[in-house]
Structure 1
Amino acid sequence: MANNEVYCKLPQDAILEILTKLPTKTLLQLRCVSKSFTPLISHPDFIKLHLSCTTGAGAGAPYPYHLIYYESTDYQKAYFSFHVDKSFSPCKILETPFKSINGYLRLVGSSRGIVCLFDTSYFSYVGTVILWNPFIGKFKILPSLQGLNCLRDDISHIAVGFGFDHRNFDFKVVKILYGCTNEREVPPEAFIYEVKIGTWRRLGSVVPCFMPRWPWSGSVFVNGIMHWLAYKRQLFSGPPTCIMALDLVNEVSKLMELPQNLGPNPKELRLSPLVDEKSVALFVSYHENVGKTWDMWLMNDYGEVESWTRKYIVVLEHVFFPLKIVNDGQTLAAISDEKLVLIDVEKEEVQDLEVCGLPLSFDMAGYTPSLALLDIGDRLVWQDSLRKQA
């Protein structure tokens, strides 16, 4: 009996239940071999249902893959490598389907199959946000903030965050614009983009903190909340003094304290999610020559400053910076000879992952395949689309 005949005789509810439990790769194959499945699998309601069945209604962690972003040592190409969770064995390497127009492509984050990238430059706050689903090969270029009367002359830099609003079942991107002037304090402005609506709008809540004036201020998304290292006041000198948290569901922000006994004169701080994606970790270096010893602090009870605990000390010659805790006692780190390594702090072992790139370009996020963005039109031509935005 032909497959189509079996498909026709099955009740529609049974077909739907079967399809929602299939992995993303299988569903994509079904679209290629059977035209009858294509409209159903590509429908926004099915994509939403499949997303909820495969990742759950919460944060969507733990992730089956580690996603690593890095640039080639000749500055010519950007890559994503996918690694299987736990074993960390490589399973796929992809080039980005677009080349940076502004010169500085960075990974903002990953949530439920969508990778968020920000294309900007070292010398300007101007940039373009791209949402990309590497498993289905589609991406969406977000519009600029033009028309919202926010592009002032005193803007100095920008922070970007990305995550998933589980209550409204929608992907959201946040941009926070910071100003700098010698004459007066310039309050930051925050804007939010909802994929379902497709437009930017001003965020009503007050932004309580100030981001470091770096070319890139990365965010960490856990518990439905974005987190950035920040300052309590507009003083961009020394290491950050707090964590700014923005709840994507309620769209309110708050200040979170760093460990009270952090120690004197920390030189560099880096924020990371915990393995279960339910709280945050903090890497701290105290040395003038950053890259030899890093303290690892864990926030055991999310939001409670008293729960910060110094768990490990990462010591390795030529460590450029740690990226993320990937398993209990294991930390991913970039080292100065253009390699990525996995450090087992408890066993004092170092594994070369055979991923080579510019040390400062390395970034990492968890990844779960999904059908998100499958219902958008054909892929746009990247360079032409950006030129039309300008």
Structure 2
Amino acid sequence: MADECILPEEILHYIFLRMPTKPLLQLKCLSKHWNCVISNPSFMKARSRRMILAPALPLHAIDISVQGNDMNHSMIKLHFPYAMLEDKEVTIVGSFNGIVFLVLEKAYRPHELILYNPFTGAFKTVPRPPYSDYTNHMYGFGYGTILDDLKIIRIMRYDSANSGSRLYEIFSLKSGSWSSPSVLIGKYHFLKYSGTFVNGYLYWVAARDDHWPIIVALDIKKMVFSEILIPSGCNWNCLGRFNGRLSMICIRSNDFELWVTNDHDSGNLWSKKCLSKYTSLSDHDKSFNVLCVLDDGKLLVVQYPSKQLIVYDMFKESYKEVNTLISFGQLTNLQSIEYQESSISPADMCSTLI
């Protein structure tokens, strides 16, 4: 554009920092200079906008910072080679520094593991592990105490040679390689395919062999598994993170309950932080599912049969309609994740990515 450099750089920064993501992405395509400004890591760090990866195909992001009910700017179709998704189930596992970990699954084919930046559209494929089969696996994405040692955890099928225990293996982005399979002692039926990462731990909701519901926790630094009891009488719905701590949404009667873990040396593991009525979200002919717990206590909810996406504020007991999903039939264990926009390339995270 002929007039693109008339505005001083600091004015451009001021404008771009405050723009919703959807028009900002459109500006990247209009000008090489604007693209450089917007893609600059220092600009992205200053912008630091949190988004939600929505469970829709094609992949969409939700910009929850958009004011009011501007549905046109709050739902953003993302750039991705959708031919890769054809006839495949997609699991949204986790995110770190704007990079999202996706698992693509097709019957009788090994899983494809993808690291993807929703803001830039860049993606890379993780090398397949030496041991690959076509059964369901559980995944996690996180790190111990060292930020530059991200790991992908894959918990595999039952190992009949070890009395029904499961095998697990680890891909280190630092070394660019898979570990040899190890044995996870204990018979667990995992109820979600994706682990929730909080402060060096990964958490999966599961049931023991006696059908008792628990949370399986993995200390990523020590690579030690343990069990955590859920709050007494809690009909769990979704794990998440609230103010940097592990949280769980429980449903009782017409109430949402937000439970949050305390310090390890505390006498009680869980504290109830919020009790919220959800009657405004549902009536006799509607039901809903919690897809994501946001760090500020809001929930992303999908309402049936309309497939309406709603951001629900538990503390204010208010909600905002986002959009109606077109399709989410190919997403496994329907869920979403919150991520932070960045210009980081997946290729910079590991040298062996394909």
The two structures have a TM-score, normalised by structure 2, of: 0.70
Which residue of the partner structure matches residue 145 of structure 1? 129
- The structure 2 residue matched to 1:321, chosen from 289, 292, 302, is 289
Which residue of the partner structure matches residue 6 of structure 1? none
Q: Any conservation in 2 of the 1:125–1:158 contact (CA below 8 Å)?
A: no
**2:346 match: secondary structure:** coil
Kindly indicate whether residue 221 of structure 2 is the aligned counterpart of residue 249 of structure 1.
Answer: yes
Cα drift, residue 173 of structure 1: 0.7
Q: Provide Cα deviations, 1:202-255, integer angstroms capped at 9, x if missing partner.
A: 365x535555355x5121111122111123x335x5xx6221222233333222
Which residue of the partner structure matches residue 218 of structure 1? 194
Kindly indicate whether residue 60 of structure 2 is the aligned counterpart of residue 80 of structure 1.
Answer: yes
Q: Any conservation in 2 of the 1:69–1:363 contact (CA below 8 Å)?
A: yes
Provide the C-alpha distance between the structure 1 equivalents of 2:300 and 2:170, rounded to a whole number of angstroms.
31
Kindly indicate whether residue 207 of structure 2 is the aligned counterpart of residue 207 of structure 1.
Answer: no
Provide the C-alpha distance between the structure 2 equivalents of 1:87 and 1:209, rounded to a whole number of angstroms.
48
Residues 287-326 of structure 1 aligned to structure 2 (within 5 Å): 293-301=255-263, 306-310=268-272, 311-316=274-279, 317=282, 318-326=286-294
Q: Provide Cα deviations, 1:65-102, integer angstroms capped at 9, x if missing partner.
A: 1222222xxxxx32121415595972743143343256
Which residue of the partner structure matches residue 246 of structure 2? 280
- The structure 1 residue matched to 2:322, chosen from 331, 334, 353, is 353
Provide the C-alpha distance between the structure 2 equivalents of 1:302 and 1:357, rounded to a whole number of angstroms.
43
Identical amino acids, percent of aligned pairs? 19
Provide the C-alpha distance between the structure 1 equivalents of 2:318 and 2:132, rounded to a whole number of angstroms.
49
Amino acid at match of 2:103: F
Kindly indicate whether residue 77 of structure 2 is the aligned counterpart of residue 93 of structure 1.
Answer: yes
Which residue of the partner structure matches residue 330 of structure 1? 298
Amino acid at match of 2:241: P
Kindly indicate whether residue 339 of structure 2 is the aligned counterpart of residue 366 of structure 1.
Answer: yes
Which residue of the partner structure matches residue 233 of structure 2? 262
Q: Any conservation in 2 of the 1:209–1:244 contact (CA below 8 Å)?
A: no
Q: Any conservation in 1 of the 2:294–2:338 contact (CA below 8 Å)?
A: no
Q: Any conservation in 2 of the 1:80–1:96 contact (CA below 8 Å)?
A: no
Which residue of the partner structure matches residue 142 of structure 2? 163
What is the total number of aligned residue pairs between the two structures?
A: 309
Provide the C-alpha distance between the structure 2 equivalents of 1:305 and 1:156, rounded to a whole number of angstroms.
40
**1:202 match: secondary structure:** coil
Which residue of the partner structure matches residue 131 of structure 1? 115
Which residue of the partner structure matches residue 13 of structure 2? none
**2:268 match: secondary structure:** helix
- The structure 1 residue matched to 2:209, chosen from 220, 229, 234, is 234
Cα drift, residue 171 of structure 1: 2.4
Amino acid at match of 1:188: R
Which residue of the partner structure matches residue 343 of structure 1? 312
Kindly indicate whether residue 247 of structure 2 is the aligned counterpart of residue 271 of structure 1.
Answer: no
The two structures have a TM-score, normalised by structure 1, of: 0.65
Distance 1:258 1:166, change over 3 A: same
Distance 1:79 1:321, change over 3 A: same
Which residue of the partner structure matches residue 9 of structure 2? none
User: Higher RCO, 1 or 2 (CA under 8 Å, sep at least 6)?
Assistant: 2
Q: Any conservation in 2 of the 1:112–1:368 contact (CA below 8 Å)?
A: yes
Provide the C-alpha distance between the structure 2 equivalents of 1:269 and 1:303, rounded to a whole number of angstroms.
26
Provide the C-alpha distance between the structure 1 equivalents of 2:338 and 2:174, rounded to a whole number of angstroms.
23
Which residue of the partner structure matches residue 191 of structure 1? 169
Distance 1:67 1:319, change over 3 A: same
Provide the C-alpha distance between the structure 2 equivalents of 1:95 and 1:124, rounded to a whole number of angstroms.
27
Cα drift, residue 281 of structure 1: 1.3
Provide the C-alpha distance between the structure 1 equivalents of 2:264 and 2:342, rounded to a whole number of angstroms.
27
- The structure 2 residue matched to 1:114, chosen from 72, 76, 99, is 99
Provide the C-alpha distance between the structure 2 equivalents of 1:327 and 1:370, rounded to a whole number of angstroms.
22
Q: Any conservation in 1 of the 2:164–2:187 contact (CA below 8 Å)?
A: no
**2:222 match: secondary structure:** coil
Provide the C-alpha distance between the structure 1 equivalents of 2:267 and 2:248, rounded to a whole number of angstroms.
12
Q: Provide Cα deviations, 1:301-347, integer angstroms capped at 9, x if missing partner.
A: 36857141232244231342223343655322111120111223343
Which residue of the partner structure matches residue 70 of structure 1? 55
Residues 44-63 of structure 1 aligned to structure 2 (within 5 Å): 54=45
Provide the C-alpha distance between the structure 1 equivalents of 2:193 and 2:172, rounded to a whole number of angstroms.
21
Which sections of structure 2, spanning at least 5 residues, go unmatched? 1-16, 18-23
Which residue of the partner structure matches residue 5 of structure 2? none
Q: Any conservation in 2 of the 1:124–1:157 contact (CA below 8 Å)?
A: no
Distance 1:322 1:174, change over 3 A: same
Provide the C-alpha distance between the structure 2 equivalents of 1:339 and 1:296, rounded to a whole number of angstroms.
22
Provide the C-alpha distance between the structure 2 equivalents of 1:79 and 1:370, rounded to a whole number of angstroms.
18
Cα drift, residue 131 of structure 1: 0.7
